[in-house]
Amino acid sequence: MAKKLVIKVTAGTDAPERCSQAFTVAAVAAASGVEVSLWLTGESTWFALPGRAAEFELPHAAPLPDLIDGILTGGGTITVCTQCAARREIEEKDLIEGARIAGAQVFVSEIMPDGVQALVY
What are the residue ranges spanned by the domains of the chain? 4-120
**What is the reported pTM?**
0.95
Q: Which pLDDT band holds residue 1 (cuts at 50, 70, 90)?
A: low
Which superfamily is assigned to 4-120 in CATH?
Answer: DsrEFH-like (3.40.1260.10)
Hey, which residues does 40 pair with through a beta bridge?
Answer: 9, 80
Taking only the tens place, the pLDDT of each residue in 16-63 is 999 999 999 999 999 999 999 999 999 999 999 999 999 999 999 999
pLDDT at 87: 98
pLDDT at 13: 96
What is the C-alpha to C-alpha distance for residues 30 and 25, in angstroms, rounded to an integer?
9
Helix axes 64-73, 16-31, angle to 10 degrees: 30
Taking only the tens place, the pLDDT of each residue in 71-111 is 999 999 999 999 999 999 999 999 999 999 999 999 999 99
SS (HEC) of 24-74: HHHHHHHHCCCEEEEEECHHHHHHHCCCCHHHCCCCCCCCHHHHHHHHHHC
